[in-house]
Amino acid sequence: MRISLLCLSLVVGLAALPVMADDMPRPTGDAVLTVSGQIEHANVEQAAVFDMAMLETLPERSFETTTLWTEGKTSFAGVALADVLEAIGAEKGVIRASAINDYTVEIPVDSVSATAPIIAYEMNGEPMSRRQKGPLWIVYPYDSDAEFRTEVVYSRSIWQLDRMEIVQ
Amino acid sequence: MPDRSLQTHALNPGGRWLIWTVGLLLSAMFAVTLSLTGQVVSNLERQRSANSDNVQWTLTQVEVEYLSFVNELEQHLHDPDGLLPPAEDVSELRRKFDVFYSRVDTLHSSSLFLPLREDPDFKARLDVALAFLDRTVPAIDGDDATLFSEIVPIWQDARLVRDEVRGLSLEGLSYFATTSDARRDETATTLAQLAALSGALMLVLAVTSIYLLYINRIIRRRGDEMVETNQRMRTILSTSLDGVIVSNAAGEVLQFNPAAESIFGYKAEDTIGRSIGDLIVPPHLRDMHNAGMKRMQEGGERRVVGHGRVQLDAMRQNGDVFPAELALQSAQSGEEEIVIAFVRDISQRVDDQTELISARDKALAGEKAKAEFLTVMTHEIRTPLNGLLGNLSLLKNARPNKEQRQFVHNMELSGQVLLNHVDTVLDIARFEAGKLSVKREPIDLGLLLQEIVDSQSGYAASRGNAITWQWSGPAEPWVATDGQRLQQVLLNLVGNAIKFTERGRVSIELDVAEPADATGKAVYEFRVTDTGVGISEDDLERVFDDFHTHDASIGRAEGGTGLGLGIARRFAEAMGGEIGVESSLGEGSVFWVRLPLQQVDEAKPQARDPIHAGPLHKLDLLVVEDNEINLEVIRNMLEMDGHTVAIARNGEAGVEAAHTHRFDAILMDISMPVMDGPTATRHIRSEGGQSAASPILAVSANVLPQSVAEFRAAGMNAFVGKPLTLTSLRKALVALFDEEDGLTGEAEDIDPLTSMRADLGEEAFARFLERFRAEGDDMVARLERTGETKDALHDIAQESHRLAGSAAMFGALEMRDVLIEVEMAAKSGEQDELAALIRKTRGVWTRTQKALPKPD
């Protein structure tokens, strides 16, 4: 029932959006990330749906940092959020990022830099399972700058990410 | 100056101390404030990057996800009679499980919960939750059918851990709430401290401000005072009569006062900043000036600065060089040294001085020329006058008639008066020119007075006066003096007395006023008493002045020059005596003369006659003697006889001299510093120098037979005792060359003073006498304050010996004896005896001094 409600709202939302070209390659594997809203490129019903292979075609970024939620130094690898935004043609507005348990945070596009945050898909060289905050986790290099050790950034560090919506 | 400037700028020590304290306090408080602020900032920072909200979220989410998972389980539990059929799809269940799993896993692995995990309750609950998850994972990861069949046991299991999961959230929340409270309290405390400290800081700042205001007031007051002082200084400078020029250390003019302007002709504004050397130092002094400036800048010696007034040449603007008096002072003006010159134009004074000096020189030259003219003229007049008088006496014998004889007689009288006058003037002129000599020869005073009375009785009778002479005490007539001068003095007084007495009496009295001392010198007093007109009190003081006549009419009538008493005074003084007068007007006068005269024995042969002990050719002699007086006496005596004399002041120097030069004979003192006589003799004899074979004459006051034997043993050929006389010296030398054996040990029994005086001449004698007195005084004083150390005793022995030699020379035998005793006592170190002798020496010296002749 929840699913149907969700589907309904999606359909209503999409109907209101301007028609976009489905000019992105379609996902072939399981979808891991769905981006909707004010985007220029889409592949499935005006949304940009990524499987893991598609994410891996984007440049890989990695760093080491400690986090509040892990023990000791942890290395992360993934794609820069900025690269994803560029791939879908989102230049402004706010990203509403949601987790599989519907936890949602807002990240202004302006706050996204070329290197931080990343959408991590590997932790310590291993893919992350859902039980380990996987498969995708928005991670900042917390150790590199005090700017990344704030309440706001911690709250934006959303794990078990599965969808994003770009809104104005 | 530097001190003053310090005082002006510095506060009193208390104030400075206060400033230091306040400064330190402020710094300390500032440091503490900084540290507290840092703490607050870091606290805020911690809260800024704080994670508590996130933690709380995570904690609450554990329970939320747990409930979500249980709820999903229950979706599959609906019984067949329910509203909805049980769900077939378990993927949602797997997702809920994973999310719950991930929440618990976060609690288990996140560093955020590290402190919380140390809480045993929390840890136990976490373990329960983890155990449940681990138990459930196989079913969740199995295929759908298996999972579906396992749902009921999983649900039942999950219900069992519900309290634990809830507990996890609650305990975590309460733990973090407590931590957060503690941190807030900490921050609040820090802020309170900060506030208190800031308050204190404000207070201190306020106090400091008040103090600074106070200091500012003081400084302003001092500033005012300084302005006032400056004003005063400027007034002083501008009204000073002396030129005042202030320059810096480089010599550039800083100030030039109006007096300096008028002295040098510059305008002050033209001089500022210019080199003082170029402005006022004349070209010929410029090198010296520059050298002086350089010396001063280098901190070297200052020859003019700070050394009072000096006289220098200075130069005006127009190039005129003039004498100036200059005083330079340096002072510290702030960091810089300044030089202040006070200049006075003294050209007028110098001109006046030069004029005065030249006037004085002219006057002196005139005086001298006059005296010389007088001497020459009187001498020149005397010669023809003698011719005239001689021819007159011849004329008397040429049988003139009665009338002619009268003329000749008159001419002869006038000629005699004229000759007298000329002689008088000649005496004065000689005296003034310093050519007056005083002879010494034995005379009989009785005879002298008798001759005077005889020669003046005719003149006295012509004025109706009686004239007599007599001894008023015992007669001691024989003295050694210049009889002619004494006669002149007395004749003047007697002639004067007769001149001013009519039908009265002129009497001459003579006595010994002070009996003879050890040297035989006695003071004789001659009194010429008349019953004449007397002298008024006003005139008493002036009667001995030149050209003074008691009464012009009488003076003319008696043909006096007014020089008579003046001459008498000069002669008396030249002979070491005094002259005076007592008189009352109308009753007569007493003229008196007191003279120190050397008494001599009538029968005695005259000591000054040279004794020719034998033919003695001119000798080349060496005198070795440490006593300066003795050395000089011996040398004078020897040189008087034409000998060549070399001197050495101690035995060692004597040995050296004897080594390099062959002397005909050596006169050797016995006791000398460095090396004594016998040792020196041994060296001379044994070293084979030039004088190794020359006869050596021992000169010593020590005449004991054993000593003489000792001298002979040392290689000395002869001996002459002290006191030395020319005669004894001559005898000894002659004996030396006759048979070279004069070690007889006999001192001459002769009045040493008289003979020495005669031998050396008056001038040298007086010099030696003066020295002996000084040495004696010095010695007695030193004896009385001397210490008892070994060195002091040695010195005493040596000095006593030396002075004993001098004492013997002056015939002060008592003094010599006591000094020899002192020497012995000092040598043997007998302190008590020495002390007694030293006390005795003082008395003996006092007696000796009285007995010594007064310096003429």
pLDDT over 70 percentage in chain B: 85
The per-residue pLDDT for B108 is: 83
The per-residue pLDDT for B525 is: 94
Evaluate whether B280 touches B315 at the Cβ level (below 8 Å).
yes
CA atoms within 13 A on the CB side of A51: 9
Judged by a CB distance cut-off of 8 A, whether residue A73 touches chain B is: no
Hey, of A69, A158, A161, which one would you mutate to test binding to chain B, going by the most B CBs within 10 A of its CB? Answer: A69
The per-residue pLDDT for B13 is: 58
Does the pLDDT of residue B460 top 90, yes or no? no
| Min Cα–Cα distance to chain A from B53, Å | 8
Does the pLDDT of residue B614 top 70, yes or no? no
Q: Binning pLDDT at 50, 70 and 90, where does residue B740 land?
A: very low
Does the pLDDT of residue B691 top 70, yes or no? yes
Identify all chain A residues contacting B42, using CB atoms and an 8 Å cutoff.
none
**Which residue of chain B is at minimal alpha-carbon distance from A133?**
B102
Q: Binning pLDDT at 50, 70 and 90, where does residue B813 land?
A: confident
Cα distance between residue B139 and residue B839, in whole Å? 140
pLDDT over 90 percentage in chain B: 8
The answer to pTM > 0.90 is no
Identify all chain A residues contacting B107, using CB atoms and an 8 Å cutoff.
none
The per-residue pLDDT for B755 is: 66
Burial annotation B245-284 (CB, 10 A radius, 16+ → b, else e): bbbeeebebbbbbebbbebbebeeeebeeebbbebbbbee
User: Token pair for residue B634?
Assistant: 């011996």
Cα distance between residue B836 and residue B841, in whole Å? 9
In chain A, residues 128-167 whose CB comes closer than 8 Å to chain B: 129-133, 146, 149-151, 154-155, 159-160
Cα distance between residue B177 and residue B38, in whole Å? 25
Judged by a CB distance cut-off of 8 A, whether residue B102 touches chain A is: yes
Identify all chain A residues contacting B58, using CB atoms and an 8 Å cutoff.
69
Q: Which of A70, A146, A155 sits opposite B110 (nearest CB)?
A: A70
**Which residue of chain A is at minimal alpha-carbon distance from B107?**
A69
The per-residue pLDDT for B365 is: 86
User: Token pair for residue B409?
Assistant: 């007689």
Higher pLDDT, B798 or B757: B798
Helices B790-809, B831-851: inter-axial angle, 10-degree rounding: 30
With CA atoms as reference, report the closest residue to B268 among B280, B278, B253, B282: B253
| Number of residues written out for chain A | 168
pLDDT in tens, B261-319: 988 999 988 888 888 888 888 988 888 888 888 887 787 777 777 777 888 889 998 98
Q: Would you call the peptide bond into B678 cis, given omega within 30 degrees of 0 as the criterion?
A: no
Q: Which residue has the tokens 């003073």?
A: B753
Higher pLDDT, B16 or B285: B285
The helix/strand/coil state of B87 is coil
Evaluate whether B51 touches A154 at the Cβ level (below 8 Å).
yes
Q: Which of B58, B98, B112 sits opposite A130 (nearest CB)?
A: B98
Judged by a CB distance cut-off of 8 A, whether residue A68 touches chain B is: yes
Long-range (24+ apart) CB contacts under 8 A made by B329-338 are B329/B305, B330/B296, B330/B302, B330/B305, B330/B306, B331/B1, B332/B1, B332/B2, B332/B5, B333/B1, B333/B5, B334/B5, B336/B248, B336/B249, B337/B248, B337/B249, B338/B246, B338/B247, B338/B248, B338/B249, B338/B254
The per-residue pLDDT for A13 is: 44
Q: What is the mean pLDDT of chain A?
A: 81
Radius of gyration, alpha carbons of chain B: 63
| Min Cα–Cα distance to chain A from B100, Å | 8
With CA atoms as reference, report the closest residue to B743 among B721, B719, B723: B719
With CA atoms as reference, report the closest residue to B428 among B541, B555, B566, B550: B566
Cα distance between residue A36 and residue A43, in whole Å? 10
Q: What are phi and psi of A104, to 5 degrees?
A: -130, 135
Q: Binning pLDDT at 50, 70 and 90, where does residue B78 land?
A: low
pLDDT in tens, B506-522: 999 999 988 888 888 89
How would you classify residue B576: left for phi > 0, otherwise alpha for psi between -120 and 50, otherwise beta?
A: left
The per-residue pLDDT for B21 is: 82
Question: From the CB of residue B38, how many other CB atoms can be counted at a distance below 10 Å?
Answer: 11
Q: Binning pLDDT at 50, 70 and 90, where does residue B98 land?
A: confident
Q: Which of B54, B65, B111 sits opposite A101 (nearest CB)?
A: B65
Cα distance between residue B767 and residue B715, in whole Å? 35
The per-residue pLDDT for B221 is: 94
Pairing type for strands B466-471 and B588-599 reads unpaired
Does the pLDDT of residue B611 top 60, yes or no? no
User: Token pair for residue B696?
Assistant: 């050596």
Work out whether the CA dihedral B175, B178, B184, B187 comes out positive or negative. Answer: negative
**Which residue of chain A is at minimal alpha-carbon distance from B51?**
A151
Q: What is the mean pLDDT of chain B?
A: 79
| Min Cα–Cα distance to chain B from A93, Å | 25
Beta strands in A13-128 (DSSP E): 31-37, 48-51, 60-65, 74-80, 94-99, 104-108, 118-123, 126-127
Per-residue tens of pLDDT for chain A, all 168 residues: 444 444 444 444 444 444 455 567 888 888 888 888 888 888 887 888 888 888 888 888 889 998 888 888 889 999 998 888 888 888 888 889 998 888 888 888 888 888 888 999 988 888 888 888 878 999 998 888 878 887 788 888 888 888 889 888
Say if the Cβ atoms of B95 and A130 lie within 8 Å: yes
Say if the Cβ atoms of B53 and A151 lie within 8 Å: yes
The per-residue pLDDT for B507 is: 93
How would you classify residue B30: left for phi > 0, otherwise alpha for psi between -120 and 50, otherwise beta?
A: alpha
Q: Which residue has the tokens 């408080």?
A: B29
Q: What's the rounded mean pLDDT across residues B600-616?
A: 49
What are the angstrom distances between the C-alpha of B104 and each of A98, B497, B698?
A: 20, 162, 136
Dihedral angle of Cα B153, B155, B156, B159, to the nearest 10 degrees: 160
pLDDT in tens, A78-88: 999 888 888 88
pLDDT in tens, B568-596: 888 888 888 999 999 888 888 999 999 99
| Min Cα–Cα distance to chain B from A62, Å | 21
User: Token pair for residue A36?
Assistant: 């909707």
Does the pLDDT of residue B83 top 70, yes or no? no
Helices B144-160, B120-141: inter-axial angle, 10-degree rounding: 160
- DSSP for B481-505? E-HHHHHHHHHHHHHHHHHT-SSSE
Q: Binning pLDDT at 50, 70 and 90, where does residue B704 land?
A: low
Say if the Cβ atoms of B51 and A71 lie within 8 Å: no
Q: What are phi and psi of B577, to 5 degrees?
A: -115, -170
| Maximum Cα–Cα distance across chain B | 223
User: Token pair for residue B212?
Assistant: 């600074």
Sequence-distant (6+) residues with CB within 8 A of B188 are: none
Edge-first strand listing for the sheet containing A31-37: A48-51, A31-37, A161-167, A94-99, A104-108
Evaluate whether A134 touches A77 at the Cβ level (below 8 Å).
no
What are the angstrom distances between the C-alpha of B543 and each of B431, B499, B584?
A: 19, 14, 14
The helix/strand/coil state of A158 is coil
| Min Cα–Cα distance to chain A from B113, Å | 9
pLDDT in tens, B380-439: 777 778 778 878 877 877 788 888 888 888 888 788 778 877 777 777 776 766 666 667
Q: Binning pLDDT at 50, 70 and 90, where does residue B746 land?
A: very low
User: Token pair for residue B522?
Assistant: 């006695």
Cα distance between residue B176 and residue B367, in whole Å? 130
